[in-house]
Each structure stands twice: as C-alpha cells, then as structure tokens.
Structure 1
Amino acid sequence: MSLESLVSYFGVPALFLGCLVEGESVAITGGALVHRHMLPFVPVLLAIGSGAWVADTLFFWLGRRFRAHLFVQRQLAGSRIASVMGKIRAQPGRFAALFRFIPGMRILFPFALAQTQITYRRYGAITAASAAIWAMFYIVVGHLVGAILARVLGHIHHAHVIVWGGGIAATLSVLLAVHHLRRGQKRRQ
C-alpha cells in the first residue's frame, strides 16, 4: 500500500487523533494535505476542529472532576496561570474563547477554567466555536506551507515530506511539552 493510499484511508482519523494529542503541527499538516488534494477540505476541517474541541473538553472535565487533586493544584499554582487566575475567574467566557490561540496553554487553561463557575454547556459552546476558528486558521497556514513546498520542490510529489515533516514536528512538540511539564514539576518541589 502506498503512502498516498494510507493518507487517503487513515488521514482524517489520524488528524483527529493528532489534534487530541498535539495540535498545531498536526493541523498544519492537514492543511498541507488539503493543498495537495490528498484529503478533502471539509472532513479535514471537521477532524481537526473536533479533535481540538474534544481535547479541550476532556481537560476541562478532568480539571473539574479532579479540581482538588494535587496534580491539578500544582499545575495551577506553579504556572503562569496563577498570576492571572483572578482575571480568569472574572471573565471565564473570554478566556475559554481565547486560550486555544495561546501556544502551550491547552492543558493549563482548561484546568484553570474548571476552577471557575463556568458551566459545562457554556464552556463547550464557546470552545466549539473557538476550535472551529482555530482549525480554519491552521488549515490556511498548512495550505500556505503546501504551496511553499510545491514551489520549492517543483513537480516532485511531496506527500512523504508533508507526512514525515508533520509527524516529526508533532513528535517534537509532544516531547517539548513533556520536558516543560517535568521541568516545571521539579522547580515546584
């Protein structure tokens, strides 16, 4: 089975799962694959947006369910969130709409918002709209990356470059996030 066949068969579900775990580099990869006409726009948009929204909702639920747990409290106390927690409590809707666009905050902000009075329904509606806009933005960025790759590589079919590049970028992003979390935990101890 060729890489193109694998991408056309597993690409959309892989983008959904990738946006659950990582986010930006997976979404950009999806946009590049749309540019190359390897995947259709609407399913990619739905996969990326819903993957991001499910992750946001899951972290919010975990933060609300385990709000008194030591792990959640440590994340909030020793982070950049602690200094703005009063503002988050005062305007949870605004922060629910914007946090997805702040790199590195996709876990901390849902945890922080779970400590406020915002309801599941309101949080879910706001983050659904935010995830849809975020998905559209990163698909456009990926489309531009695909156009640049097409210019640089010419007529070379660059599916391998897109898939491997996106996979490497996603892996590096996850590794950097894990490193950052571990370093933050060591500083707080």
Structure 2
Amino acid sequence: MSVEALIARFGLPALFVGAGVEGETVVVLGGVAAHHGLFGVGPAIAAAAAGSFVADQCFFLAGRRFRHHPRVARLMARPAFARAMTTFERHPTGFVFAFRFLYGLRTVSPLAIGTSAIPASRFLLLNACAAILWASIFVSLGTLFGNTIEAVLGRLVRGVEWVALAAGIGVAGWLIVRRFRHRAP
C-alpha cells in the first residue's frame, strides 16, 4: 500500500493525534484536507476537537493525580506555570477557553489547572466546549483559506500529506522541546 493510500486511510486519526500533540498547524492543515474533499469538515472538527480534548484531559488528570510528585513540583516552580495559575485564579472559565490560543501555555495550562481546586466535572465540561470552539475555528481557517495555504506551502499532492507531515514535525518538535526542558535547571 502506498504512503498516499495510508495517509488517506488514516487522515482523521492523524488529525486526532496531531491536534492533541502539536495543535493549530495540524488542525489548519486538516481543514485544507477537508477543503479538498478528503473528509468532511464536520468529521475534521470532531477529530481535532476530540484530540485536543483527550490530550488536555490527560494533562489535567496528571496534574490532579501527581500534584505532589517531585517532577510536578519542579514544573510548578517554573514562571510559565505561575503565570498560568495566576490568570486561571482570576478568570477560571475564560482561561479554560483561552489557553489553547496562548503560545507557551498550551501544554502546561491543563496540568496547572489539574493542581487547582476546580471540580473535575467542571473542567471536563469547559474543556469539551473549548475544544469544539478551538477545532471549529482552525479547521474552518484551513477550509476557507485552503487555496491560499496551498500557494504558500506549495502544491499539495492530495492534501492529506501535509497533515501527516505537520503531525510528524509537531511530534518531533514536541520531543525536542521536552528534551531541552528536562535539561534546563
């Protein structure tokens, strides 16, 4: 089976994983794939929202479960964590909707929220609504501006290859950043 056929077959699962691991780039490119008719806009939004929701729920639950673990304590000592908590304490509902759009706070925020006193059921509901809104915005951007994005990125050979490429780049970038963060004092 060709790579193109594999990507076409696993396009939505790739969008699901990419939305949880990398974020906006993969989701916009998922919108481009939807623009080309490789899958519908609705399924693309659903896959992206689900991926974002699951990843953020996992980080939230990790924060809740391991809030007293030494690694989480080290993370809590970082400035980004402190900024996330300060903003969250002032505007908890708004922060749950906004952290997906804030560079540098996307991964640490749900972990930070998990260490707070917010009820898990409230975070679950807010997280689901926020994930749907976020996915709708970025898939729509990819769908609406698919031709422009293609012109900037180059000709797509069926559209979905960019989703897989962005997911791969996102995973590699995430692993590199994670590795350097663990080395930082």
Question: SS at 2:30's partner residue?
Answer: helix
User: How many positions carry a matched residue from both structures?
Assistant: 185
Number of the residue aligned with 1:158: 157
TM-score (normalised: structure 2): 0.85
Tell me if the contact between 1:12 and 1:44 (Cα under 8 Å) persists in the aligned partners.
Answer: yes
Letter in 1 for 2:114: A
**Could you tell me how far apart the structure 2 residues matched to 1:113 and 1:144 are?**
33
**What stretches of structure 1 of length at least 5 have no aligned partner?**
none
Q: 1:118, CA displacement in angstroms?
A: 0.8
Structure 1 runs, 4 residues or longer, greater than 4 Å off = 1-5, 149-154
Structure 1 residue 181 corresponds to structure 2 residue 164: no
Number of the residue aligned with 1:13: 13
Number of the residue aligned with 1:111: 111
Tell me if the contact between 1:7 and 1:38 (Cα under 8 Å) persists in the aligned partners.
Answer: no
User: Structure 2 vs 1, CA of residues 11 and 173 (structure 1 numbering), >3 Å: closer, same or farther?
Assistant: closer
Tell me if the contact between 2:14 and 2:167 (Cα under 8 Å) persists in the aligned partners.
Answer: no
Structure 1 residue 167 corresponds to structure 2 residue 164: yes
Tell me if the contact between 1:93 and 1:118 (Cα under 8 Å) persists in the aligned partners.
Answer: no
Letter in 2 for 1:78: R
User: Structure 2 vs 1, CA of residues 84 and 127 (structure 1 numbering), >3 Å: closer, same or farther?
Assistant: closer
Tell me if the contact between 1:76 and 1:108 (Cα under 8 Å) persists in the aligned partners.
Answer: no
Tell me if the contact between 2:30 and 2:160 (Cα under 8 Å) persists in the aligned partners.
Answer: no
**What stretches of structure 2 of length at least 5 have no aligned partner?**
none
**Could you tell me how far apart the structure 2 residues matched to 1:28 and 1:175 are?**
18
**Could you tell me how far apart the structure 1 residues matched to 2:156 and 2:111 are?**
43
Q: 1:103, CA displacement in angstroms?
A: 2.8
Tell me if the contact between 1:4 and 1:38 (Cα under 8 Å) persists in the aligned partners.
Answer: no
| Structure with the larger RCO, 1 or 2 (CA within 8 Å, 6+ apart) | 2
Letter in 1 for 2:50: S
Letter in 1 for 2:119: T
Q: Which has the larger radius of gyration?
A: 1
Question: SS at 2:117's partner residue?
Answer: coil
Tell me if the contact between 1:89 and 1:113 (Cα under 8 Å) persists in the aligned partners.
Answer: no
User: Structure 2 vs 1, CA of residues 147 and 62 (structure 1 numbering), >3 Å: closer, same or farther?
Assistant: same
Q: Percent identity?
A: 35
Q: 1:72, CA displacement in angstroms?
A: 1.4
- Of 36-45 and 168-177, deviating more is 168-177
**Could you tell me how far apart the structure 2 residues matched to 1:48 and 1:127 are?**
13
Number of the residue aligned with 1:78: 78
**Could you tell me how far apart the structure 1 residues matched to 2:71 and 2:104 are?**
17
Q: 1:66, CA displacement in angstroms?
A: 0.6
Tell me if the contact between 2:15 and 2:47 (Cα under 8 Å) persists in the aligned partners.
Answer: yes
